[in-house]
Amino acid sequence: MTDTRGDRLPRARATDPGAERGRGLLLVAALADRWGVTPGPAPRKTVWAELAIPTAGSRFSTSR
């Protein structure tokens, strides 16, 4: 995701259980194997995430 608000970098943080927003990076951190932020030309930044591809025989394999 690329965002044009470059005045601050995103960070995963705890949110109030009743809050309606603020959980995006918590979800990314929970599901991704790696994630980070790459600064772009001002004022942009890009949040990126990587997911491992399950292989045959791994605990994530869907074959039965």
DSSP string computed for 2-28: EES--SS--------TT-SS--HHHHH
Q: What is the pLDDT of residue 63?
A: 47
Q: Say if residues 30 and 14 touch (Cβ distance below 8 Å).
A: no
pLDDT in tens, 33-44: 999 988 888 778
Sign of the C-alpha dihedral computed for residues 53, 56, 59 and 64 taken in this order: positive
Q: Which residue has the higher pLDDT, 6 or 36?
A: 36
Which two structure tokens, joined as six digits, stand for 37?
């932020």
Q: What is the pTM of this model?
A: 0.65
